[in-house]
Amino acid sequence: MVKREEFLTSLLGQEGCKALKKATDHNPDLALSVIVRSLMGWLDVITRQDFQGKIPGTHYACEIKKNQSDTFSGHLKTKEDVVSFNNASLHNVAGAIATVLGVEDELPQNVDNTHLAALGKSIDLLIKARIVTSYKQKPVVPQKLSKSINLPRPSTRRVFRIAKASLTKSCSFCQEHFFKNDQFVGCHCFSGLSGCNLLNKSTEPVLSFNRSWDQEAITTLLEALKV
């Protein structure tokens, strides 16, 4: 249990874990599934190139190399053992890490996939926002990640209209408001990504995004703002 908690805290932060706990308190099975969903979100980011570092919240070394066939090879090192994998799928890699975290054998069979999918969008963005924020605060990329993984740079600034009612919406995951005093401040899930400006707030609100936001992050926020 301690490994799981430390993993999520390292990955999502204290506030992110509190928000997640609120969202899953009523459903222990969902809470357990969210650990694996968070693991998949982290792997999706770090495996876009070769990775060498530690599993979040642990001292376990992890090396993952992406093969040309979209499979992965590498190993995990714990105090007791070395777990190797070769030409494995991303789900197989996740399974190996889940075993190290003590999760795999307890995964529930009946989980509301709709609720899990909704939480998954916020989890993915929170993971990415924390990686981007960490990169901006340090002179080197954390855990030997390439810059190109975390900071995609679209060639043009993006502008989107939103409904006026969206200005009063709160995040379904962490319950914090996206806007304050007619300014985009971001809830906890989105606060790590700056560079979003609110225009024409008195008539037809428009959001303008800079290069810190890739298309996936923009789409996720716009979906969260739908009324």
Q: Provide the residue ranges of all domains of the chain, joining segments of one domain with +.
A: 2-149, 152-224
> Alpha-carbon distance 182 to 56, whole Å?
36
Question: What pLDDT is recorded for position 118?
Answer: 73
- Let me know how long the chain is: 227
pLDDT of 38 higher than 80: yes
pTM for the predicted model, two decimal places: 0.67
β-pairing, 179-180 vs 51-54, is unpaired
Whole-number average pLDDT of the chain: 78
Tokens coding 214: 């890739």
For residues 173 and 1, is the Cβ–Cβ distance under 8 A? no
pLDDT of residue 105 exceeding 90, the answer is no
The string of pLDDT tens digits covering residues 129-184 is 777 666 555 544 444 444 444 444 444 557 899 998 899 988 776 778 888 888 88
More confident: 55 or 196: 55
Secondary structure in 3-state letters for the chain: CHHHHHHHHHHHHHHHHHHHHHHHCCCHHHHHHHHHHHHHHHHHHHCCCCEEEECCCCCCEEEEEECCCCCEEEEEECCCCEEEEEEECHHHHHHHHHHHHCCHHHCCCCCCHHHHHHHHHHHHHHHHHHHHHHHHHCCCCHHHCCHHHHCCCCCCCEEEECCHHHHHCECCCCCCECEECCEECCCCCCCCCCCEEEECCCCCCEEEECCCCCHHHHHHHHHHCCC
Cα(128)–Cα(118) distance, rounded to whole angstroms? 16
Residue 152 tokens, joined: 């995609």
Q: Is the pLDDT of residue 23 over 80?
A: no
End-to-end CA distance of the chain: 38
Nearest to 107, CA basis, from 119, 117, 94, 118:
94
Cβ-contact 195, 214 below 8 angstroms = no
- Quote the CA–CA distance of 35 and 71 in Å, as a whole number: 23
Cα atoms in the Cβ-side hemisphere of radius 13 Å centred on 160: 17
Please determine, for residue 110, whether its predicted confidence score (pLDDT) is greater than 60: no
